[in-house]
Amino acid sequence: MRSLVFAVAAALAACGPSQPPASEAPAPTETAAPAPSETPEVLAARAASIASLPAPYNEANYEAGRRVFAQCRSCHTLEAGAPNRVGPNLHRLFGRQTAFAEGFTYSPALQGANFTWDAAQLDNWLANPRDFLPGNRMAFAGVRDETQRRDLIAYLKVETAAE
């Protein structure tokens, strides 16, 4: 159900006349109308999921996070059973030990890291992956803006748990 919502939202985001496809959009500038399939139940479940995060992530903006995820989408899928791309599938990210995706060949750095993913660890990783875990192979400079990271983490919380 959520992946359907996501697909609809992505399709809507991609259909402006001069906009590139969502997967290529580098900057989070679009204003997205809520997808028609965002029922009260879907919105309530989403709000509950974000509220379960510790502060300040529990105050995050899902829609803003969805736009920040445009920077990750070419390399990562979030849905159950979706393929690994350049980066691993991130389904069920929260609470998992590093290097958890089946069938993905990780760097020794990520394989040897000894922690589980939560909002705070994701925040450190996404701010500056290279400094946080030297030797990792994620070719991504980082999300500098704290609010963007907070929103992105809430979006990941919702979407990586969707069935």
Contact positions vs ligand HEC (CB under 6 A): 71-72, 75-76, 86-88, 90, 93, 98-101, 106-107, 109-110, 126, 136-140, 143
Q: How far is the CB of 57 from ligand HEC (least distance, A)?
A: 13
Q: How far is the CB of 162 from ligand HEC (least distance, A)?
A: 15
Question: In the complex with ligand HEC, which residue's Cβ is closer, 39 or 111?
Answer: 111
What is the Cα 90 distance to its own chain's centre? Answer: 8
Q: How far is the CB of 81 from ligand HEC (least distance, A)?
A: 16
Residue with tokens 């920040």: 68
Q: Select from 160, 157, 159 the least CA-distant residue to 59.
A: 157
Question: In the complex with ligand HEC, which residue's Cβ is closer, 34 or 108?
Answer: 108
